């Protein structure tokens, strides 16, 4: 595969049997937007408990080029689940946002100490480690500690 090409874009070009005159159409996630009953309260919760740097105008900008201090992966996954999926439960929302964290155990311990509803379950796989918390509006939030990059030792 050519440098900078993803499996998805390669398939799209293969399907078209040629080069797309527009070039790369979608190259990443540009933003996540959702409604809240109490936006100010919810912004404060994400700032206070997940450490998001909420700007004065109410948004957060993640620098996609910022390297992880622990040498972890930094990709973004986009996925569609069947309507019957229970992956976002116990939330009734049809979405779940996954946030990358450097140390899942420390993050979950801090959230528990702050009184946040943290799921007791932690999943580990070749993709990393996953834990969950619910925000004040009942949205399930996934916390992801990606695996360390090859060749990096524990810090």
Residues 6+ apart with CB under 8 A from 108: 118, 122, 131, 133, 143
The pLDDT value recorded for residue 43 is: 92
The per-residue pLDDT for range 82-132, each reduced to its tens digit, is: 788 888 888 888 889 999 888 999 999 999 999 999 999 999 999 899 999
pTM for the model: 0.70
CA gap 73, 149 in Å, rounded: 6
Residue 132 lies in a domain: yes
Domain that holds residue 115: 83-149
Q: Is residue 17 very low, low, confident or very high in pLDDT (cuts 50, 70, 90)?
A: low
The beta strands (E) that lie in the chain are given as 97-100, 123-125, 128-134, 140-145
Residue 49 lies in a domain: no
State the CATH number of the domain containing residue 115.
3.10.180.10
Residue 90 lies in a domain: yes
Q: How many domains does the chain have?
A: 1
Question: Phi first, then psi: what are they for 46, rounded to 5°?
Answer: -65, -35
């Amino acid at each position: 595969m050519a440098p900078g090409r993803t499996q998805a874009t390669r398939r799209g070009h293969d399907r078209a049997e040629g080069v797309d005159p527009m070039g790369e159409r979608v190259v990443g996630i540009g933003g996540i937007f959702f409604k809240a009953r109490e936006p100010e309260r919810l912004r404060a919760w994400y700032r206070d408990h997940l450490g998001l740097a909420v700007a004065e105008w109410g948004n957060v900008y993640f620098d996609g080029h910022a390297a992880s201090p622990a040498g972890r992966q930094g990709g973004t996954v986009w996925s569609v689940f069947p309507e019957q999926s229970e992956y976002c439960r116990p939330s009734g929302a049809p979405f779940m946002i996954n946030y990358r964290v450097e140390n899942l155990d420390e993050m979950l311990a801090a959230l528990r100490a702050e009184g946040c509803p943290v799921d007791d379950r932690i999943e580990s796989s070749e993709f990393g480690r996953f834990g969950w918390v619910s925000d004040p509006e009942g949205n399930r939030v996934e916390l992801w500690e990606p695996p360390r990059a090859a060749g990096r030792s524990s810090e």
